[in-house]
Amino acid sequence: MIKKSNAILLLLALYYFIYLYCTILNLNLLGNILSPIGPFFAFIFIFKYINGIPWSIIKIFGLSLSIGCLFYALAEVLWGIFDYANLVDPGSSLTITLIYTVTNLLFFIAVMLYIVEKFKKWNKFQLTIDFLISCISVLYLLWALFLNRDIQTIQLVLDFGLISLINIILDILIFTIITIWYLSIRGGKIPLSIRLMTTGTVLYSITDIVWYYLEFHSRYIPNTLIDSFYILSMVLIAGAFVINSDKQLQNEFYRYDYSNVGMNNKVFLFLPILILLIHEDGFITSDVLFFSVSIFVYKSTSNYIQLAIQNEFLLEKETNLNAELELRIKERTKELTDKNLLLHNMSNKNMLTDLYNRRYFKNKAEEIISNLPSFSNIVALFIDLNKFKSINDQHGHKTGDQVLVEVSKRLSQVRYNDSTLCHFGGDEFVIVCEVGILNMNDIHTFAEQIIASIAEPIQIDNFSFNISMSIGISFGHCNTNIDDLINNADFAMYEAKEQGQNKFVIYDNDMSKKIRRKNDIMYLLSNMDYENEFQLVFQPQLNIVENKLIGMEALIRWNNPLRGSISPVEFIPIAEEINQIISIGKFVLINALKQISLWNNKYQLQLVMGINISPKQLMDDNFVPMIEQLFHEYDINPKWIDLEITEGIAMVHNEDTYAALQELKNMGVSISFDDFGTGFSSFSTYKYFPFDRIKIAKQFIDNIHQDENAYNITKFFLLLSESLDNRLIVEGVESKEQYDVLVELGCEEIQGYYISKPLPSNEFEDQFLKKK
């Protein structure tokens, strides 16, 4: 299929050859009809191209050419009308001559717009001699051929009219300027469209000069070969715009890879002028001498200028190389400085928050201690964000990092005695500063300001986070060991955590005892004999509507030969911390399963054994397979087992944890939410995991018979469990008054000392099973 542009070019070519045929045969009428069509087509094609271009020098350039073609077409139409009607001689019509003059003027403007844009960055000296050689050659040619080397002929031209003289001057300028442009180019490839455009414009100016030559000598005949060259120039200009791509002309206008720098032998293209003169007038020595001298002078001057340009270029290149070398040295120096600073920051700052790190803290603390007067103190405040891990687990580490950055900004705004804030990593921050005479009120105020700095919720994207913290404070003097200073603050921080959220604790000697106690328990847990030191006790669970035993909760007790009885409240958190909880949990699970299998099979019952499970157990890949194996080994119905999980599961929940609970639930195991309502994430945890039962913690019913709020909260929990089709059991029932209120509220299941304290297996069996 022929492209649209190719079809237009074929149409233009066909039109031109038809018109050429008319001029060869001197078909005057048909020639007058066809001659305006070509220029009019040129007007349309050029105008269509530039119509979509914003106002700019390019658009003015295109309008000049298109309107110039339009005026030429108009002049041709008038010529044809005048000739057909025999009104006046078209060649002597002032109107037609003025219209032709407009075409010359617009073409000259277009040439100037294009050439001046190109000449901006050219060497002016080279451009000047190019201009001189071109002008001298063209003027000499006109003198020899147009004026016949006769001064009197000049008067003939002047007598022909001012407008004709203007047209001739415009034609000479157009021809000369484009010739200079072409001869001056020493670099850059000229696109085909520009070649066609400039060729058409030069052809027009040459044809116009020849026309005036013929007209001056009364040798012009309308619609002869000379007119075909006019039309050919318009066709070439039109074709240039037809083959132009959308951006080609625009790119050409702002293209500066043309250059008049470098050696150029295009000047020898003037030799055909000499040959033309010899052909017309014979061999004239003055012609040969004129062109030989002109070319010699031009080449000598041009070579000198190009050598100067080359030297200037080399000097500039050397200057630029030196400048670039200096710049690179400067950049390299700056790069090394920046890298040294970066290394310093990397070694002394946390890369996330840009706060000083643990390494810097140690150096800073050593500096403070070494310069500490005997009457002054150093204080360290160890800050830990409470339950920050849940943010990372539930919202991702990116969100967690954003929270840490915001916390860092807020902490940085709290100052005391030129204090230094450090980020140890994770959710741990430390502030260190020197204090003179110790004023505990000031320290308390400072700690409260730190806590208050994060009181406002932190907004990250669409989430709002209420952050709490725990602060441990320790003091030192000029002989203090830095490790002891930070360890003491760390111990105090953990003590603050035990007291609740947004608490601060100052390290004291009593805390040392707790630390030693904790270390003692850690050691004992790591070296204990489970079978001889651990014992399970069982607390009954009762349906008070039917006054019927429905199950029991297995609880662990530890009786150490050296330290005696150690409470689960004390050793379970430590076991969690040192990862002993999995082995302890396995011990509890195996013995509890043995016991419920024994009792239910022995007494033909369907009692349910409640077993506390640590989140870390659920994270163990072997946990569910182990339970399946134990069920099979001890012949246990999964419905006999209720696994009790606290809200601590919210801190570690992920898809694997959820899948493990769901798998246990599918087996028939019941899942209970222990101590429901005591933590900030109870409801979100309740929503996420597949719980069958919730256990109301003891603190909610301690004063239920006296406290209206406790009463209403418990009532709310009962309604919640009922609406979600979950069972509910209240633990910690210790008095008849509590029992009566729970009966009033419609509670069905309870557990607590009011029924029985936790009992060893033999006592539990004697008291609750044998009598059944």
**DSSP calls for 44-56:** HHHHHHHHTSPSS
End position of a domain, from candidates 245, 261, 277: 261
Same domain flag for 481 and 594: no
Residue 475: inside a domain, yes or no? yes
Distance CA 135, CA 183 (A): 12
**What pLDDT is stored for residue 207 in this prediction?**
87
Same domain flag for 689 and 754: yes
Residue 741: inside a domain, yes or no? yes
Residue 175: inside a domain, yes or no? yes
pLDDT tens readout for residues 705-756: 888 888 888 888 888 888 777 888 999 899 999 899 889 888 999 999 999 9
Same domain flag for 489 and 598: no
Distance CA 561, CA 418 (A): 52
Both tokens of 592, joined, read: 């509890």
pLDDT tens readout for residues 73-124: 898 888 888 877 776 777 777 888 888 888 888 888 888 877 776 666 666 6
Distance CA 671, CA 628 (A): 16
Q: Distance of CA 16 to CAs 9, 76, 159, Å?
A: 11, 15, 35
Distance CA 198, CA 203 (A): 8
The residue range of the domain holding 679 is 522-769
558 pLDDT more than 50:
yes
Strands 548-560 and 534-543: antiparallel
End position of a domain, from candidates 444, 477, 507: 507
Same domain flag for 129 and 250: yes
Distance CA 720, CA 631 (A): 32
- Which of 535, 536, 538 minimizes the C-alpha distance to 768? 538
Same domain flag for 65 and 210: yes
438: helix, strand or coil: coil
247: confidence class by pLDDT, cuts 50, 70, 90? low
Residue 531: inside a domain, yes or no? yes
Mean pLDDT on 332-354: 78
Torsional sign, CA 357, 362, 363, 369:
positive
Q: Distance of CA 631 to CAs 304, 662, 692, Å?
A: 105, 17, 20
Candidate ranges 168-172, 562-566, 685-689; pick with highest mean pLDDT: 562-566
pLDDT tens readout for residues 664-690: 889 999 988 887 766 544 455 555 566
Mean pLDDT on 208-223: 79
Mean pLDDT on 450-455: 88
Average pLDDT of the chain to the nearest whole number: 81
Residue 362: inside a domain, yes or no? yes
- Which of 555, 665, 649, 667 minimizes the C-alpha distance to 609? 555
Task: Determine what percent of the chain is predicted with pLDDT higher than 70.
Answer: 81
Same domain flag for 660 and 706: yes
374 pLDDT more than 80:
no
End position of a domain, from candidates 261, 291, 307: 261
**What pLDDT is stored for residue 257 in this prediction?**
53
Strands 749-751 and 534-543: antiparallel
Both tokens of 429, joined, read: 């921050």
264: confidence class by pLDDT, cuts 50, 70, 90? low
650: confidence class by pLDDT, cuts 50, 70, 90? very low
Q: Where are the beta strands (DSSP E) in 85-240?
A: none
Same domain flag for 568 and 709: yes
Same domain flag for 59 and 196: yes
**pTM score, whole prediction:** 0.48
CATH of the domain at 684: 3.20.20.450
Residue 345: inside a domain, yes or no? no
Candidate ranges 258-272, 348-362, 739-753; pick with highest mean pLDDT: 739-753
Same domain flag for 528 and 640: yes
pLDDT tens readout for residues 506-516: 888 777 777 78
According to DSSP, the residues that pair with 694 across neighbouring strands are: 673, 728
Same domain flag for 536 and 499: no
Same domain flag for 607 and 752: yes
Residue 69: inside a domain, yes or no? yes
- Which of 228, 165, 211 minimizes the C-alpha distance to 24? 228
Query: In total, how many domains does the chain have?
Result: 3
Residue 332: inside a domain, yes or no? no
Same domain flag for 494 and 603: no
529 pLDDT more than 70:
yes
**What pLDDT is stored for residue 418 in this prediction?**
78
According to DSSP, the residues that pair with 378 across neighbouring strands are: 434, 476
CATH of the domain at 415: 3.30.70.270
138: helix, strand or coil: helix
Write out the H or E segment, with its range, that includes residue 538.
strand 534-543
**What pLDDT is stored for residue 470 in this prediction?**
93
Residue 121 DSSP code: T
555 pLDDT more than 50:
yes
pLDDT tens readout for residues 462-496: 888 888 999 999 888 877 788 888 888 888 888 88
Helix 225-243, helix 57-85: angle, nearest 10:
150
610 pLDDT more than 90:
yes
**DSSP calls for 658-699:** HHHHHHHHHHT-EEEEEEETSSTTHHHHHHHS--SEEEE-GG
CB distance 732 to 698 below 8 Å: yes
Please state the φ and ψ torsions of residue 422, each to the nearest 5 degrees.
-125, 150
Both tokens of 141, joined, read: 């040619």
